[in-house]
Amino acid sequence: MNAAAAPLTFSNDLLTGMEWNPTQVRELLHLAADVKAHPDRYRGALAGRFLALIFEKPSLRTRVTFEVGISTLGGSSVFLDHTETKLGQRESIPDVAKNLERWVQGIVARTFSQESINALAENASIPVINALSDRYHPCQALADFFTLQERFGGLRGLKLAYVGDGNNVCHSLLSIAARAGAYLRIATPAGYDPEPAVVSEAKRTARETRGKIELCNSPEEAVADAQAIYTDVWTSMGQEQESAAREAAFASYQVNNKLFAHAASDAVFMHCLPAHRGSEVSGEVIDSPRSIVFDQAENRLHMQKAILLTLLN
């Protein structure tokens, strides 16, 4: 982290978002805002640093923002395409980690399994950043709360509703909402709830920050008076065989104008993208002026630059 930002001692890795405490999350949000407002201040801050990008899944926002981010900070990246040969198949994950730590200063990994992310971190002495796994998407959630902070001026007590699948994005929203002191309501169909351990950790943290975490099965209950409504795809990468069952289970969970009528008058719509118009969200919502999905996408760049500055500097 830049010396002027009064750095705290952060965990060496970003694997879940739960390794950073509320004060550290606030510090990271502050740094992202400064990076966005004063990009020239950080040019060359990571000169000579190299970043390995390991991707088992397709990517637009994550890959581009990390590559552009490290480049504008003065560093370079190496892309390792594992969409055909999964990480650990050709060579063990410990061996991959031990090789990479000799050449680069950080690893960004997008994997099907959280265990693969953990194994990289356990076997590499350099920082490992989770760029999405089956359980967590911390970079996305941090950028989302940065976007909400920009929009509403603060996060403590802010009312966010999440409607849909209790998936990796939902897990990370839980963790960061709790650390930000926000009020998060989650509506999922029965059987698609977020993992109990993630919910329990978020509720414990929320008690410290005076935030609030609530789970329900009613979309209308979740969005009542909400300032932001968030949804994600009903079928994540790797779950394609479940798509028909999921379409049926989530049919009444679409975010549309009818559901939005229950939210606050100035409520905004959020989605991590890519989106399926006509499924989890109607076109009339995602393409309306209240949609801030492209603000979220832009802020992935600024947040990822803040993460890199924090862990690689």
Active site positions, annotated:
110, 137, 140, 232, 272, 300
The 3-state DSSP class for residue 55 equals: strand
Taking the CA atoms of 190, 141, 260 and 248 in sequence, report the sign of the dihedral they define.
Answer: negative
How many Cβ atoms are within 10 Å of 155's Cβ, its own excluded? 23
Quote the longest CA-to-CA distance of the chain. 55
248 token code pair: 């049926």
Q: Report which of 18, 290, 306, 295 is spatially closest to residue 173, judged by C-alpha positions.
A: 18
Residue 283 vs residues 63, 150, 251: alpha-carbon distances, Å: 26, 25, 15
Amino acid type, 94: P
Amino acid type, 270: M
Checking phi first, is residue 73 left (phi over 0); if not, alpha (psi -120 to 50) or beta? alpha
* H-run or E-run covering 143: helix 138-152
The 3-state DSSP class for residue 170 equals: helix
Residues 29/148, Cβ–Cβ less than 8 Å = no
For 274, phi then psi, to 5°, come to: -70, 150
Which residues, in sequence order, are CB contacts of 289 under 8 Å at separation 6+? none
Residues 254/279, Cβ–Cβ less than 8 Å = yes
